[in-house]
């Protein structure tokens, strides 16, 4: 059943660049469906193609976006399939279904394993949101088998048959095209290792920086470039200075198009400690034959053609990065096939096929 024949609408928290936001945009473009954003970002926004139908609830606060979303949902209250991908937004839409405001079917996608990633009050707030809203979802989409297992362990009130696994899509041709952009950055004149992501503890950049400190003497011209911005910048900068590696480890900040960096890098590295699934890994695999990743998410252990390291382990990361630097890439045929099986069109059609093949879902 083709996605373009379905009445689908996508709801997203904002149009700021992020893994979950990218997945939803790819699915919306592949299905030629409209997207509603709760909040319009001030900077660092997604590159939304011309002609793609979008609406914004607000350009002010996210809370205002939640409030105004109710009005924007009026044309989609019945007869549609609604898809969203952030736990609070998923729960909000599920609650609107439970009270009868929405009669359309609701598919919610898990963007991370919140119950294993967070603790304290934040975890409690998620638990409350799931209790209030997730009973209203017709289908829950997890990125990996591990994520599904964790979801069912912590959200026992959602029937297992309503929770499926569907791997994230990757727009291979778009990534390849972006990678062809010229890279005019003197930091890339010599060999470099490239990592990318928000500067937060979960991304494991402290581990990566420490690992690089054990490698750099053997490769005196090698640099480490970390693309991204976030609250951990000060701590990372302090560590770099303590190691005396200010000229070798560069925090590049937010980069609108990281693909040329990935393509030109000697090695691309995902150093995360815990992820739902790192979409940046797929982008790196699409542009560079030499990729290292920690086993930070379910499913990474079976990905062909990349080198893997234990999470949160400096020595393991040192060993694998050195192997990547010294030996380069293996045969990339399997990687190409792996990526070809994850197109946005395959993703959205598989999703809707799964939805319509489970008749019990349509009775809610």
Q: Distance of CA 350 to CAs 81, 112, 135, 224, Å?
A: 14, 20, 23, 39
- pLDDT tier for residue 118 given thresholds of 50, 70 and 90: confident
Q: What is the pLDDT of residue 163?
A: 96
Give per-residue pLDDT as tens, 194-236: 999 999 999 999 999 999 999 999 999 999 999 999 999 999 9
Q: What is the pLDDT of residue 24?
A: 94
Contact (CB, 8 A) for 146 and 298: yes
Q: What is the pLDDT of residue 59?
A: 92
Average pLDDT over residues 63-71: 96
Q: Pseudo-torsion of CA 316, 317, 319, 322, nearest 10°?
A: 180
Report which of 186, 184, 187, 205 is spatially closest to residue 195, judged by C-alpha positions. Answer: 205
CATH 3.40.50.2000 in the chain: give the residue spans. 3-169+343-363, 172-340
pLDDT of residue 63 exceeding 90, the answer is: yes
For the domain bounded by 3-169+343-363, which CATH number is listed? 3.40.50.2000
Q: What is the pLDDT of residue 276?
A: 86
| Residue 363 exposed, middle or buried by CB count within 10 Å (0-12, 13-18, 19+) | exposed
Average pLDDT over residues 144-173: 94
Mean pLDDT of the chain: 93
Radius of gyration of the chain (CA): 21
Number of C-beta neighbours around residue 291 at 10 A: 26
Q: What is the pLDDT of residue 363?
A: 41
Average pLDDT over residues 15-28: 91
- pLDDT tier for residue 360 given thresholds of 50, 70 and 90: low
Give me the count of residues in the chain: 364
More confident: 334 or 347? 347
Q: What is the pLDDT of residue 113?
A: 85
pLDDT of residue 2 exceeding 60, the answer is: no
Q: What is the pLDDT of residue 156?
A: 92
Average pLDDT over residues 312-331: 92
What is the residue whose two structure tokens read 């393991």?
Answer: 316
Q: What is the pLDDT of residue 195?
A: 99
Fold of 172-340: Rossmann fold (3.40.50)
Q: What is the pLDDT of residue 361?
A: 45
pLDDT of residue 45 exceeding 90, the answer is: no
Average pLDDT over residues 163-190: 95
Q: What is the pLDDT of residue 331?
A: 66
pLDDT of residue 362 exceeding 70, the answer is: no
């Amino acid at each position: 059943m083709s996605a373009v024949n379905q009445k689908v609408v996508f709801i997203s928290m904002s149009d700021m660049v992020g893994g979950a936001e990218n997945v939803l945009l790819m699915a919306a473009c592949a299905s030629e469906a409209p997207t509603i954003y709760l909040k319009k970002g001030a900077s660092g926004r997604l590159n939304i193609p011309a002609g793609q139908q979008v609406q914004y609830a607000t350009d002010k606060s996210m809370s205002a976006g939640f409030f105004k979303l109710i009005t924007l949902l009026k044309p989609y209250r019945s007869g549609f399939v609604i898809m969203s991908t952030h736990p609070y937004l998923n729960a909000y839409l599920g609650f609107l279904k439970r009270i009868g405001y929405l009669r359309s079917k609701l598919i919610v996608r898990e963007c991370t394993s919140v119950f294993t990633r967070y603790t304290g009050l934040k975890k409690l707030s998620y638990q409350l949101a799931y209790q209030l809203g997730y009973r209203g979802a017709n289908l829950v989409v997890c990125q990996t088998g591990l994520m599904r297992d964790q979801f069912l362990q912590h959200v026992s009130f959602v029937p297992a048959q309503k929770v499926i696994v569907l791997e994230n899509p990757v727009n291979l041709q778009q990534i390849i095209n972006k990678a062809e952009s010229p890279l005019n950055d003197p930091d890339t004149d010599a060999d470099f290792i490239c990592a990318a992501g928000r500067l937060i503890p979960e991304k494991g950049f402290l581990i990566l920086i420490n690992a690089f400190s054990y490698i750099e003497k053997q490769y005196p011209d090698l640099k480490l470039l970390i693309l991204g911005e976030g609250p951990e910048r000060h701590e990372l900068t302090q560590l770099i200075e303590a190691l005396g590696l200010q000229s070798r480890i560069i925090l590049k900040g937010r980069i609108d198009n990281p693909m040329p960096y990935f393509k030109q890098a000697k090695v691309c590295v995902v150093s995360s400690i815990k992820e739902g699934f790192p979409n940046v890994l797929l982008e790196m695999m699409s542009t560079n034959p030499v990729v290292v990743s920690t086993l930070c998410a379910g499913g990474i252990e079976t990905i062909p053609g990349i080198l893997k390291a234990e999470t949160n382990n400096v020595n393991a990361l040192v060993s694998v990065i050195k192997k990547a630097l010294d030996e380069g890439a293996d045969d990339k045929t399997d990687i190409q096939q792996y990526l070809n099986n994850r197109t946005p069109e395959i993703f959205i059609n598989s999703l809707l096929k799964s939805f319509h093949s489970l008749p019990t879902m349509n009775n809610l």
